[in-house]
Amino acid sequence: MTGVRLSLLTRERIFGVVLLVPCFLFVAVFAFYPILYSFYLSLHRIILGLPRLGEPFVGLTNYRDLLHDRIALHALGNTFAFVFISTFFEILLGLAIALVINRHFRGRGLVRAAILVPWAIPTVVSSQMWRFIFNDKYGLLNFLLYGSQTSSYVAWLADPAYAFTAIVAADVWKTSSFAGLLILAGLQVIPDELYDAARIDGASAWQQFLRITLPLIRPALLVALLFRTMDAFRVFDLVFVMTQGGPADSTNVLQFYGYKKIFAEGLMGYGSTISVLVFLVTFVVSLLYIRVVGRRFLQEMG
């Protein structure tokens, strides 16, 4: 009998491994291989359009040049500012959205579907829409603020401070609903009995939020924070469509700077170095989130 049980257990393990192999192969081909090949390219001097000449190995020269590249360092600062500001407002608005659509009211299903519309729109399309909204000549924002007084129009995408604010606003508008959807999943698992008991004890709505809701949705907040942080570090299409990194490099982020180095200047090796830097920064920040912020939250989930 014991032998039969061991045989069945072995078959189940083998079957589980067989099911996991295609997944691991997919991840290896479409994730690990591009990362490793980008690292390989970053160690060589490759210029598109010129003879390869064996792709000379330059070691860490590209990385040393990157440390002294003032435009790259400025782009890194823009990236961190974009990630911090956009993620903060997306989590904040996502929490508010989740709290609203978690309540029971007539037409809640329709409201939930409508809230997800911005997230469902492709980023290129929403970026083009926001570029029209912020246009200084025929944009909707200037028309709402100043009407037909063309002399008072603000060139939103031509001013460094306004341009950076514009791409942050566009990103927050699009992805807050995604954060709200993740946080809503955490709200759905909170038993109603906890709120009933709190109301009987005389707890106010604010006390219920601080003592019940917020502690129990921390794992969901961490997941939303991780997803949005990693996605914000890879921002490209928003900048490409709306500002092209300008004006005066005020919206130039690392991912877009790497694109310009590879496809505009043909510096494949140096551009790959920037891509590797984006990956490393995202990886390190994600680990810090999990270790510093998320350890206790993950224990609560377990």
Residue 175 belongs to domain with CATH number = 1.10.3720.10
- Domain count across the chain: 1
Residue 296 lies inside a defined structural domain of this protein: yes
Residues 6+ apart with CB under 8 A from 153: 136, 137, 142, 146
Phi then psi for residue 57, to 5 deg, are -80, 125
Residue 145 lies inside a defined structural domain of this protein: yes
Could you tell me if 269 and 44 are in contact, meaning their C-beta atoms sit under 8 angstroms apart? yes
Q: What is the pLDDT of residue 167?
A: 94
> What is the DSSP code (8-state) at residue 293?
I
Q: What is the mean pLDDT of the chain?
A: 84
Q: What is the pLDDT of residue 171?
A: 94
Tokens of 161: 């401070």
Q: Taking the model in full, what pTM does it have?
A: 0.85
Residue 13 lies inside a defined structural domain of this protein: no
Residue 40 lies inside a defined structural domain of this protein: no
Q: Is pLDDT of 103 > 90?
A: no
Confidence bin at 295 (pLDDT 50/70/90): low
Averaged pLDDT for residues 65-92 = 92
* Domain ranges, residue 158: 70-301
Using CA atoms, how far apart are residues 81 and 68, in angstroms rounded to an integer? 20
Q: What is the pLDDT of residue 203?
A: 83
How crowded is the C-beta side of 168, counted as CA atoms within 13 Å?
21
Alpha helices in the chain (DSSP H): 2-27, 33-42, 61-67, 70-101, 108-115, 117-120, 123-133, 140-146, 160-188, 192-200, 205-208, 214-216, 218-233, 237-242, 254-259, 268-288, 295-301
Residue 228 lies inside a defined structural domain of this protein: yes
Residue 25 lies inside a defined structural domain of this protein: no
> What is the DSSP code (8-state) at residue 157?
G
Confidence bin at 215 (pLDDT 50/70/90): confident
Residue 89 lies inside a defined structural domain of this protein: yes
Q: What is the pLDDT of residue 90?
A: 93
Could you tell me if 75 and 254 are in contact, meaning their C-beta atoms sit under 8 angstroms apart? yes
Residue 98 lies inside a defined structural domain of this protein: yes
Phi then psi for residue 135, to 5 deg, are -65, 135
Residues 6+ apart with CB under 8 A from 248: 160
Quick: pLDDT tens for 136-195.
Answer: 888 888 888 887 766 668 888 888 889 999 999 999 999 998 899 889 988 888 888 888
> What is the DSSP code (8-state) at residue 103?
S
Q: Is pLDDT of 222 > 70?
A: yes
Could you tell me if 98 and 180 are in contact, meaning their C-beta atoms sit under 8 angstroms apart? yes
Q: What is the pLDDT of residue 2?
A: 55
